[in-house]
Structure 1
């Protein structure tokens, strides 16, 4: 439990690094923003609202079973309620949507088209190499069955067999 704040801080720093690098890249390359300001803000508000909502809804379901989204203090049971009925990693889906929203809010072309997709790729790699094998060890066949029927991020997308 003591390491939970450390996990949140490390995740926040990792995520913030991508936003900071994108802002510097935009300035360094003098990348223009292709959308009108009003449209950018409209898209940003929707993405930030949806992303934050999905993250909060996901965290609530972890807290209900006395766990946190931080790997140092995982839930003691497999969570398959709320947004976890539709995707295995809805909290990260919310973070991804939020990052796109931040990109539109700060008018960062590199965050929208390069750094957020790179961030998604890094997270998918970590999930497949570290987190999912750990979940299989911890929850066994229950997690394997859940993984087979539930997409990783996007509801409605069929997991690959």
Structure 2
């Protein structure tokens, strides 16, 4: 088994196809919402990603086949006055789970983040996704809190 972990080039036709394939597989998984990406997203995602200077994707290939993806967004920590990287989407195709690909992918993202001078990595995970939570804990992630009396931070959203 050969494994390759790369930063995607959205201008590379194969990378672009693989980003869409992996993200759509994640979207259809219960942990990704259970529905395929909408037609608009499928038609416009790559062109829109090409225009972003604060987004990157890491792809994992096993025997030259797409197996995993991490879509990351660069943000900024005002408390640290430095950039940060948020794992926005993390997915491993079912056939490739439990093979250590998440660790390899996270190591690549951490390397990129350090090269950018980032102060931290962040992510969100569903409460019931115990497998992912275990993998993230192994990578050094933990719940976020400023004051233990106030509890852990909770990720909220408001759709527009």
Query: Relative to total residues, which structure has the larger helix share, 1 or 2?
Result: 1
- Which category describes the TM-score, using the shorter chain as reference length? 0.3 to 0.5
Bigger RCO (CA 8 Å, 6+ sep):
1
Structure in which a larger fraction of residues adopt strand: 2
TM-score (norm: length of structure 2)? 0.33
Q: Computing the radius of gyration over CA atoms, which structure comes out larger, 1 or 2?
A: 1
Q: TM-score, normalised by structure 1?
A: 0.33
